[in-house]
Chains A and B, each alone.
Chain A
Amino acid sequence: MKPFTYTRADDITSAVSEVSQQEGAKVIAGGTNLLDLMKIDVMQPRHLIDITRLALNTIEETAQGGLLLGALVTNADTAYHEQVEQRYPLLSHAILAGATAQLRNKATDGGNLLQRTRCYYFYDTHTACNKREPGTGCSAIHGYNRIHAILGHSEHCIATHPSDMAVALAALEARIHVTGPRGERTIPIADFHRLPGDTPEKDTNLADDEIITSIELPSKGFAQHYTYLKNRDRASYAFALVSVAAGLDMEGDTIQEARIALGGVAHKPWRNPEAEALLIGKRASRENFQPVADAYVQKAKGFEHNSFKIELACRSIVRALMQAAKIDQ
């Protein structure tokens, strides 16, 4: 690991001013992603600001009936929090489907959203990668691209975002509160992660000098009808090839509202509100779910090794909706 200097921030203001003023500075939270990338020189910050002692480690109820997750609450404390388990089980399930107990004990909610892609070439400093080194090219497009994107990719990058938690947050329409030298702002989760376009080095719309302070869950948690379905190469301890976070609001067997977010298929959690709207007022049934799944993958385009994901995504959506609606056939 390249040497770096280290300070521990005592308050948010000083953390923000250090991030914005020190060259090559990065914040470190749980460190479970950043340190792995530093060990192999994929990321080379010259200064680390440890934010783990900031008072951003509580879960509180909001005036709007939702929950506010501090950016430094660990993934484990979030997943096992009573209110989260009861009111947002989709989020608990998604978190517990990812990483391992020891990592979730350390990983934070803010860090989880900002974890970097698992594209093999991004990790291999001997290969070209536009995300790691802009302008060098993308080794994955004509390389081994089994885990790569089928939606929203560009000729510059076909990487996916690896977070499970972010997929559930997309379905729940969470809002990300951030603070920086220009003050505070709130970014809806749908606008938080970016598509790669011609600047794949930027994963999100968070500015380099901003930090996440909290994640807000709106009151609606879809606790009655939900599923997090994660398909991967082995049953445990692997990133999603395709995952689906589904939440249904139902009256009897009629759907009032449907939320469907896909993971493992794009540079960001993938939603298609027009396709979701096809379900409003419909009966929950396989026949009604199929056209929605078809609409989700209508514009999908695979590469040499990952075209299987298109069919997998389509079937996973139907399965997830069946599970959420609690119907067998």
Chain B
Amino acid sequence: MTKISVTVNGTAQTHEVEPRQLLVYYLREKLGLTGTHIGCDTSSCGACTVHMDGMAVKSCSILAVQADGCEITTIEGLAKGDQLHPVQEGFKECHGLQCGFCTPGMIMSATDLLQNNPDPTEEDIRHALEGNICRCTGYHNIVRSIQWAAEKMKTSARALDGAPVSTSPVYASVNLNQQQQV
């Protein structure tokens, strides 16, 4: 057994783990954070996506021992109390999910994209989601959900900057059809 210390969703954790334990099993079974899903176990589907030191990674292809000293964020760590993260809200508003199995991974990939590229084109979004497989939605509404979130996050950033914000909800004015012509 090897001792590891990780910060998960802001809480420090210390445990003894077997070297062969994958990070995803550590999160789900040791910490009970079952929002991170296992869809394939072969680094393919993206259901297990979490952030490690701020970057989206597949937690089924990382040993828990390798995460020692790192900061992990899972889907459970995105909302602030009752307030959903804009990407979570986007999925709700734009019907970005059906069965919901892929959704935590989709959202973790999308939040990584938006922190590096706040104004992504549709093509940027599709490229960023290459490693997340969804059997239900056909992806279109997932892309829309992320466009919705990007728009909302830009608006809140402008509001924080003190710049004038339109009184009508900006997301209602997002012209999705136009954005799709990329």
Query: Do B49 and A3 touch (CB < 8 A)?
Result: no
Q: A103 on the interface (CB 8 Å rule)?
A: yes
CB-contacts of B1-52 with A (<8 A) = 2, 18-20, 22, 41-43, 46, 49, 52
Q: B118 on the interface (CB 8 Å rule)?
A: no
**Docked pose: A18 CA to B145 CA in angstroms:** 49
* Chain A residues in 8 Å Cβ range of B55: 76, 105
Query: Do B62 and A105 touch (CB < 8 A)?
Result: no
Known contacts: A6-B2, A28-B66, A105-B56. The answer to whether A36 contacts B131 by CB under 8 A is: no
Measured CB to CB, the closest approach of chain A to B34, in angstroms, equals 20
Known contacts: A50-B66, A102-B57. The answer to whether A1 contacts B131 by CB under 8 A is: no
Query: Do A101 and B113 touch (CB < 8 A)?
Result: yes
* Chain B residues in 8 Å Cβ range of A8: 65, 68
**C-beta contact mask, A1-40 vs B, less than 8 Å → 1, else 0?**
1111110100000000000000000001011100110110
Known contacts: A101-B109, A102-B109, A105-B56. The answer to whether A32 contacts B61 by CB under 8 A is: yes
> Looking at chain B's contact residues, is the secondary structure mostly helix, strand, loop, or mixed?
mixed
Query: Do B130 and A101 touch (CB < 8 A)?
Result: yes
Q: B122 on the interface (CB 8 Å rule)?
A: no
* Chain A residues in 8 Å Cβ range of B68: 8
Number of interface residues of A (CB under 8 A): 29
> CB < 8 Å: which of A28, A36, A105 contacts B43?
A36
Q: B128 on the interface (CB 8 Å rule)?
A: yes
**Docked pose: A36 CA to B63 CA in angstroms:** 11
> CB < 8 Å: which of A5, A39, A96, A237 contacts B131?
A237
Q: A236 on the interface (CB 8 Å rule)?
A: yes
CB-contacts of A72-108 with B (<8 A) = 76, 96, 99-103, 105-106
**Docked pose: A70 CA to B132 CA in angstroms:** 29
> CB < 8 Å: which of A1, A6, A36, A106 contacts B57?
A106
* Chain A residues in 8 Å Cβ range of B46: 100, 102
Q: A310 on the interface (CB 8 Å rule)?
A: no
Interface centre among A32, A39, A101 (most CB of B within 10 A): A101
**C-beta contact mask, B110-142 vs A, less than 8 Å → 1, else 0?**
001100000000000011101110000000000
Query: Do A103 and B112 touch (CB < 8 A)?
Result: no
Query: Do A103 and B18 touch (CB < 8 A)?
Result: no
CB-contacts of B70-126 with A (<8 A) = 109, 112-113, 126
Query: Do B63 and A31 touch (CB < 8 A)?
Result: yes
Chain A residue, CB-CB nearest to B18 = A3
List 19 other contacts, CB 8 Å, given A31-B63, A39-B41, A102-B58.
A3-B18, A6-B2, A6-B63, A8-B65, A28-B66, A32-B58, A35-B43, A36-B43, A50-B65, A76-B55, A100-B132, A101-B131, A102-B56, A102-B57, A103-B58, A106-B52, A106-B61, A237-B130, A237-B131
A residues sitting closer than 8 Å to B (CB atoms) are 1-6, 8, 28, 30-32, 35-36, 38-39, 48, 50, 52, 76, 96, 99-103, 105-106, 236-237
28 residue pairs A–B, Cβ–Cβ below 8 Å: A1-B20, A4-B19, A4-B20, A28-B63, A28-B66, A31-B62, A35-B61, A36-B43, A36-B61, A48-B19, A48-B63, A52-B66, A76-B55, A100-B46, A100-B131, A101-B127, A101-B130, A102-B46, A102-B56, A102-B58, A102-B109, A102-B131, A103-B58, A103-B131, A105-B55, A106-B62, A236-B127, A236-B130
The 3 A-B residue pairs with the shortest CB-CB distance in the complex, in nearest-first order: A100-B131, A6-B19, A105-B55
